[in-house]
């Protein structure tokens, strides 16, 4: 487990993030719309001490500290380039974007696109799109990933509307994922944690619904590699594609109905692996 480094050395990295004009404008719009502050934080890792370092200049550090004492949250954070948190409590209303600097080489030169992705999730929250309730524990990923399937469709439209270049960052990540799939596609894929399986399902849906061979030369190769590596996921991917291609997810009522169906499909996948079934409660921000 990665522990929070609370007592830091005198010389430490900074949490500060410099924004591009497009991201700064979006930040102002979110703060105006939601009447809460958007706080961006670079979070570092000391691998020798097996510690996460939350710099002293991080905004609302005591709130963030509570998250980094949760093993489930830490597991999600270390696996991601960045995470966003919508928080409302006695301290006020805050929207955090946390950049995982331990993986910064993977998004070097694409920070605007990375921030846009996290801003997009906060934006949809402020626009009152329904989301599954977050419940701490090993099954928390199911609700988060179910929401991602739908929200990523809307985010791709938002990047284009705002003139934010996202495709190169996305395709770079997909090229990396494809290389990993093709290195292991002859090996059995038994016993993978179910959160990882669901994350692969979301990735598969992103490519199915968001790209074509004209947009990405490796599109067909990727789909074949996914089917070879995860044949058990294909029936669920087929059902989700049929559901979402015929749904206007920008319409909130349709979004809610599609989210409920997506949750149902993902729960069936969880049940098929004899795993505990998480709550399907939905929240309306």
- Residue-wise pLDDT for 14-69, tens only, equals 999 999 999 999 999 999 998 899 999 999 999 888 899 999 999 999 999 999 99
pLDDT above 70 coverage of the chain, percent: 86
5 vs 104, higher pLDDT: 104
pLDDT at residue 280 greater than cutoff 50: no
**CA 224 to each of CA 19, 71, 186, 231, 271: distance values in angstroms, whole numbers, following the listed order:** 38, 35, 13, 10, 26
What mean pLDDT do residues 163-188 have?
86
How far does the chain reach from its first CA to its final CA, in angstroms? Answer: 32
Neighbours of 12 (CB within 10 A): 14
- The reported pLDDT for the residue numbered 10 is 41
Region for 109 from its dihedrals, namely left if φ exceeds 0, alpha if ψ lies in -120 to 50, beta otherwise: left
- The reported pLDDT for the residue numbered 126 is 96
Distance CA 115, CA 100 (A): 12
Contact indicator for 254, 273 with CB cutoff of 8 Å: no
Which residues are within 8 A (CB) of 173 and not within 5 positions of it... i.e. 6 or more apart?
106
What mean pLDDT do residues 127-138 have?
77
Q: Which region among 144-148, 213-217, 268-272 has the lowest average model confidence (pLDDT)?
A: 268-272
- The reported pLDDT for the residue numbered 162 is 96
- The reported pLDDT for the residue numbered 234 is 96
pLDDT at residue 7 greater than cutoff 60: no
| Mean pLDDT score across all residues of the chain | 88
- The reported pLDDT for the residue numbered 140 is 72
Contact indicator for 69, 20 with CB cutoff of 8 Å: no
Phi, psi of 40 (to 5 degrees): -105, 140
Contact indicator for 87, 94 with CB cutoff of 8 Å: yes
Structure tokens at 240: 């989700």
Which residues are within 8 A (CB) of 71 and not within 5 positions of it... i.e. 6 or more apart?
1
158 vs 195, higher pLDDT: 158
pTM of structure: 0.88
20 vs 135, higher pLDDT: 20
Structure tokens at 237: 């991917």
What mean pLDDT do residues 98-121 have?
97
Q: Which region among 130-134, 229-233, 280-284 has the lowest average model confidence (pLDDT)?
A: 280-284
Contact indicator for 56, 43 with CB cutoff of 8 Å: no
Distance CA 255, CA 151 (A): 9
- The reported pLDDT for the residue numbered 76 is 84
Contact indicator for 84, 131 with CB cutoff of 8 Å: no
- The reported pLDDT for the residue numbered 273 is 65
């Amino acid at each position: 487990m990665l522990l929070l480094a609370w007592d830091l050395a005198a010389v430490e990295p900074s949490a500060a993030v410099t924004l591009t004009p497009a991201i700064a404008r979006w930040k102002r719009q979110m703060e105006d719309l939601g009447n809460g502050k958007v706080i961006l934080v670079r979070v570092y890792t000391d691998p020798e001490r097996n510690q996460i370092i939350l710099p002293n200049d991080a905004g609302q550090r005591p709130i963030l500290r509570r998250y980094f004492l949760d093993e489930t949250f830490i597991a999600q954070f270390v696996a991601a380039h960045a995470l966003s948190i919508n928080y409302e409590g006695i301290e006020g209303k805050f929207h955090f974007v946390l950049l995982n600097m331990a993986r910064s080489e993977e998004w070097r030169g694409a920070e605007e696109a990375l921030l846009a992705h996290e801003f997009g999730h906060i934006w949809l929250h402020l626009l009152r799109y329904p989301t599954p309730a977050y419940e701490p524990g090993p099954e928390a990923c199911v609700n988060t990933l179910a929401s991602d399937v739908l929200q990523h469709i809307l985010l791709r439209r938002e990047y284009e509307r705002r003139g934010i270049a996202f495709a190169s960052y996305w395709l770079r990540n997909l090229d990396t994922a494809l290389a990993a799939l093709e290195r292991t596609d002859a090996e059995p894929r038994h016993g993978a944690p179910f959160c990882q399986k669901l994350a692969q399902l979301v990735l598969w849906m992103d490519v199915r619904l968001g790209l074509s061979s004209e947009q990405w030369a490796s599109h067909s190769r990727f789909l074949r590699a996914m089917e070879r590596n995860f044949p058990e996921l294909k029936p669920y991917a087929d059902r989700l594609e049929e559901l979402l291609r015929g749904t206007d997810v920008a319409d909130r009522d349709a979004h809610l109905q599609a989210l409920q169906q997506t949750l149902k499909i993902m729960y069936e996948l969880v049940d098929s692996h004899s795993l505990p079934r998480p709550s399907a409660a939905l929240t309306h921000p």
